[in-house]
Each structure stands twice: as C-alpha cells, then as structure tokens.
Amino acid sequence: MKLIFLGPPGAGKGTQAQRIQESHGLVQLSTGDMLRAAVAAGTEVGKKAEAIMARGDLVPDDVVVRIISERTEQADCKNGYILDGFPRNVAQAEALDGMLAARGEALDAVIELKVDDKILLSRIETRAAETAGGARADDNAEALKKRLGVYHEQTAPLIDYYGKKGILRSVDGMKSIDDVTAEIEAVLKL
C-alpha cells in the first residue's frame, strides 16, 4: 500500500504515520526527518537545505524528488510506504506520478488531516516549549507563520489535485490522537 499523509504543519501527520506504519507493515518516509538528518550529517544536501528550512521555505523540488525516488527503491519499501511531508506542491506531485507510472505502480490513497490554523498555532507553540533547548530550528513563531503560508499557497492545492483523481480521503485531525487513528484505519478498510 502506498499512502500520502497530507496536512498543514502540526496536523499530526508524523504521529499518525508512525501508528499506521506499525499496524500495516509500511515504512514512514518523512522528507522533513530525512532533510534534518542530512543537515545534522553535514552532507551537500544538508548544507543546501539548512537555511531554507530554518526560515520555513521549501527546499528545491529536484532535491526532495531525488531523495524520495532513491529511498522508495530500497528493499524495506517493497511492502509499501507512507509519504509524510511529500509532495508539498503540484510540481512534486507530478514528479511522483511520473516516478510511480514508470514503475507500473500507483498511490492507494491520500489521507488529508484537517486542522484549523488557530489550533495549529497553539500545537506548535506547545511543541516548541516542550522541546526547548533541543527545539527544531523552524519551531518559532516567525518560521511557523511562514510554513503555514507556504502550506496554504503551495500544498493545499494538492487537496484538489488528488480529489480530482478520486483518491483523497479527508479526516478530522482535531479529534483525540486515538480517534484520528481510528478514523484513518476505517478509511483504509474501504
């Protein structure tokens, strides 16, 4: 099974992807995590991405498309995967379509986690406070506003993109973590 978890920063994509990957034997592929690992390791990609990520902008499409293309070819992805944080704009979605078509594969579903902006802001502030010291470079008010703006401008159009393909499944991301997981499980059984 190949899934995309789509939603704004702080929507709970990572938390839910973690839970679903365990129950379905899938691999969670978070481009944010992979890019942070590249920054920490000081690779060429990391050097390119560091400042861009810190201010809340998107890393160039060719960089993340290559990362996903290479990662999904590894043996542990055979049973399927959850893309978390990718694609983030229409160009990335088209590149993903091309990659899957060339492999004779297709997406099973795109799970959209719907959360209001007001709730997102308070969730991310809490996350920043809880991880103070070890906080992510982009968990501050300014970068967060930027990330939300980038989401609405560039990523939200994907809701329509996948809606038209008939594979979009929207879930209320404002319920409890367990309830959201249950709703996703229900949607995946259909």
Ligand X SMILES: Nc1ncnc2c1ncn2[C@@H]1O[C@H](COP(=O)(O)OP(=O)(O)O)[C@@H](O)[C@H]1O
Options 38-46, 80-88, 97-105, 167-175: segment touching ligand X (CB under 6 A): 80-88
From 31, 120, 180, 181, residue interacting with ligand X (rule: CB under 6 A): 31
Residues 119-148 touching ligand X, rule: CB under 6 A, are 138, 147
- The structure tokens listed for 75 are 């043996």
- Residue 80, helix vs strand vs coil: coil
Q: Tokens 């809701």 identify what position?
A: 159
Site membership for ligand X, residue 173 (CB under 6 A): no
Kindly report the backbone phi and psi dihedral angles of residue 48, in degrees, each rounded to the nearest multiple of 5, phi listed first. -70, -35
Residue 74 structure tokens: 């590894």
Q: Report phi then psi at 103, rounded to 5.
A: -95, 0
Name which position in 3, 56, 112, 168 contacts ligand X (CB under 6 A): 56
Q: Which residue is at the shortest CB distance from ligand X?
A: 32
The token pair that represents 153 in the structure block? 């401008």
Query: Annotated catalytic residue: which of 48, 71, 114, 136?
Result: 136
Q: Which stretch binds ligand X (CB under 6 A): 21-29, 82-90, 113-121, 174-182?
A: 82-90
Distance CA 74, CA 158 (A): 26
User: How many chain residues interact with ligand X (CB under 6 A)?
Assistant: 18
Within 10 angstroms of residue 96's Cβ, the number of other Cβ atoms is: 20
* Residues making contact with ligand X (CB under 6 A): 9-10, 31-32, 35, 52-53, 56-59, 64, 85-86, 88, 92, 138, 147
